[in-house]
Structure 1
Amino acid sequence: MTPTLWSLVQYTTTGEDTRLGIAADGLLRTVPDALRDLDALSLLREWSTHRPLLLDLDVEALTPVDGASLLAPITYPNAVLCAGANYYDHAEEMGTARPDPDAEPFFFLKSPTTSVVGPDSAIAIFDDGRSKVDWEAELGVVIGTECTAITVAEAPAHIAGYVVANDISDRGVFHRDNSVFPAFEWDWVGHKSQNGFCPLGPGIVPSWQVPDPQSLKIRLDVNGVVKQDSDTAQMVTGVFDLVAAASRIMTLAPGDIILTGTPAGVGMPRHDFLRDGDVVTVDIDGIGRLTNTIVVK
């Protein structure tokens, strides 16, 4: 019998705190009793201990949950690192030089506490004439065990799972005129870390359910109109190489997330940006579907 595919989610019901759950076949279920008092970050901090139980999980034996609302699958990671210009087709549409797969990847940070939101969350943007808010469908890698300066071969053992992400970006505020120094011309905080600019979800798919993270279809639509349609084979630096490279910069902790870059189809080259009421959906085969609605502040 084919095992049931599932993901780890966080949810709440009216008047209750954040709880850990299992999502499978369109249903939300409770976790086994041994995990009942944990949230996602607590589980990940003891990933090696709980992994055997999850490997043998009998999803059908778990109790369904009614009337729940999904939250961000991790609240909150210690760090959210993002790989820039990491898809060949995206680099081409942005007019950059063809990335060198042997070069060290470029990373930037998003605020882990204020930018991370969950599925179905509204994302508030400015309507000030300057903001130009863009979408970026991405595969997120969730770290399961602490690692520092690991090799590419060691990286898979430190990955707990994968999640759908959208690296929301405000192109309008990215460049600053009349900066006091050339290095300060680029505002990465305003560009990438506004409130709600890192929607994640719906859940964390364990790594053993993803045989090859470099063969996943990734798509994004706005109001049902497809904008991005590619696959993770387009990555310049693959998932395991990214984890190893990030671990050489900083110690990666359980629950940390690495966003692996976005494929072609972002709005900037076509001056096509998000507006009030837009519904943005990211789909990654085998990982899930993430939907968020844009509202004006």
Structure 2
Amino acid sequence: MPETAPPTTDADPALAGPFALGTFSSGGPAFPGLLAGARVRDLSPLAGSTFALFADWEAVLPQLTGLAADTASGDWHDRSALRVLAPIAPGQILQSGANYRRHVVDLVAAEKQSVHGATPAEARADAELMMAERARNGVPYLFLGSPRAVCGPYDRVVLPAEGVQHDWELELALVIGRGGRSIRRQDAMDHVAAYTICNDLTTRDRLYRPDLKAIGTDWFTAKNADTFLPLGPYLVPAAFVGDPGDLRITLSHNGVVRQDESTKDMIFDIPRLIEYASATTTLLPGDLLLTGSPAGNGAHWGVFLQPGDVLEGTITGLGRQRNTVTAA
């Protein structure tokens, strides 16, 4: 089992709303919990896991509101005495690629300069036009991730022995609370139950298969190593978060801020991502959808993860995750 750092510090950012959900342990079996301030209420009498809470989310949310307010009964724990685990064992994991405008513009402009000989100004202007056209008439880019790559928000990230360009990608993730197929864009937000933080780690030098160039990318190998999806710390109900299209995503690497962007920079917003995903696959309660990562990953800085590195990620109202990197 991955090691876990202390769950919180005095510097942790405030969570949106009166409560959040998570998965905790006090040394025994994991249990679903409701975090209200510095205390956690054991939700085991209500459900066996946080995943189970989303099966009938519309009915469960009012119950949770009542349990958060009822501080006189129930089994409450001091948060500082608990281990904070990944907040949910998700069903399907859908991951969005190339969904932040500045990030993709940087990539396209760099290629136009290095491969096509464009000047920096020309390259960036062309890239901006491409992204504007993509936003108008393009479609999202989605792929599947493995639930077994998930680890906790304070667990150690273990670098696989294969590859050396291990990279970070902090993302806003959402949990589906109402299932559906072919969901209309105008109805999509009714299907979102909660938000959390996810770091979609990638081994860049294993992304392309030199032996199978015609096939292209190898997402399975590059993104699904054990511990390569730090998740959490908590699930914050969507009703508390406000506009998910106006949240700040910040990641620091060894204390240096590397990613710092608003979700306003998304090319395809959350309703469009849900519409696109559900056109192919039925979305079910407890599914996780990652919405893409902004500019500032390690490839941009020419810096990749090494044993001993520390990653800290925050998103407005969703808390903070902190992961130490170790070798396999």
**How high is the TM-score relative to the length of structure 1?**
0.91
Q: Which amino acid aligns with 1:161?
A: A
Question: Out of 67, 92, 99, which is 1:79 matched to?
Answer: 92
For 2:83, the equivalent position in structure 1 comes to: 69
Q: Does 1:244 align with 2:244?
A: no
For 1:151, the equivalent position in structure 2 comes to: 184
Q: 3-state DSSP class of the match of 1:226? A: strand
**1:116-172 deviation digits (Å, cap 9, x = unpaired):** 1111111111355x3210000100010012111111111111111100110101001
Q: Does 1:22 align with 2:34?
A: yes
For 1:161, the equivalent position in structure 2 comes to: 194
Q: How far apart are the structure 1 equivalents of 2:273 and 2:203?
A: 24
Q: Does 1:108 align with 2:143?
A: yes
Partners of 2:311 and 2:322 within 8 A in 1: yes
For 1:210, the equivalent position in structure 2 comes to: 241
Q: Structure 1 pair 215/60, CA: closer, same or farther in 2 (3 Å)?
A: farther
* Identity, % of aligned positions: 33
Greater shift after overlay, 211-220 or 39-48? 39-48
Q: 3-state DSSP class of the match of 2:320? A: strand
Q: Structure 1 pair 131/28, CA: closer, same or farther in 2 (3 Å)?
A: farther
Match runs of 1:1-297 below 5 Å: 5-14=18-27, 16-25=28-37, 27-31=38-42, 35=46, 37-59=47-69, 61=71, 63-65=76-78, 67-75=81-89, 77-95=90-108, 97=127, 98-99=130-131, 100-101=134-135, 102-112=137-147, 114-127=148-161, 130-179=163-212, 182-183=214-215, 185-297=216-328
Q: How far apart are the structure 1 equivalents of 2:166 and 2:44?
A: 43
Q: Structure 1 pair 127/23, CA: closer, same or farther in 2 (3 Å)?
A: same
By how many angstroms is 1:23 displaced? 2.2
Q: 3-state DSSP class of the match of 2:264? A: helix
Partners of 2:33 and 2:43 within 8 A in 1: no
Q: How far apart are the structure 2 equivalents of 1:150 and 1:204?
A: 23
Larger radius of gyration: 2
By how many angstroms is 1:272 displaced? 0.9
Q: How far apart are the structure 1 equivalents of 2:88 and 2:44?
A: 20
Q: How far apart are the structure 1 equivalents of 2:153 and 2:97?
A: 23
Structure 2, gaps ≥5 residues long: 1-15, 110-126
Partners of 1:4 and 1:59 within 8 A in 2: no
By how many angstroms is 1:95 displaced? 2.3
Q: How far apart are the structure 1 equivalents of 2:69 and 2:17?
A: 7
**1:183-204 deviation digits (Å, cap 9, x = unpaired):** 1x32111111111111110010
**1:71-124 deviation digits (Å, cap 9, x = unpaired):** 11112x121111110000110222265431132201011101x10111111111
Q: How far apart are the structure 2 equivalents of 1:148 and 1:248?
A: 6
Q: How far apart are the structure 2 equivalents of 1:271 and 1:190?
A: 21
By how many angstroms is 1:293 displaced? 1.1
By how many angstroms is 1:244 displaced? 1.6
Q: Structure 1 pair 17/218, CA: closer, same or farther in 2 (3 Å)?
A: same
Greater shift after overlay, 92-101 or 162-171? 92-101
Q: How far apart are the structure 1 equivalents of 2:167 and 2:106?
A: 14
Segments of 4+ in structure 1 off by > 4 A?
31-34
By how many angstroms is 1:224 displaced? 1.1
Q: Which amino acid aligns with 1:259?
A: L
Q: 3-state DSSP class of the match of 1:23? A: strand
Q: Which amino acid aligns with 2:214?
A: P
Q: Which amino acid aligns with 1:256?
A: D
Could you say which structure has the higher helix fraction? Answer: 2
By how many angstroms is 1:269 displaced? 2.5
Q: 3-state DSSP class of the match of 1:145? A: coil
Q: Which amino acid aligns with 1:293?
A: T
Q: Which amino acid aligns with 1:233?
A: K
Q: How big is the alpha-carbon RMSD for the aligned residues of Structure 1 and Structure 2?
A: 1.9
**How high is the TM-score relative to the length of structure 2?**
0.82
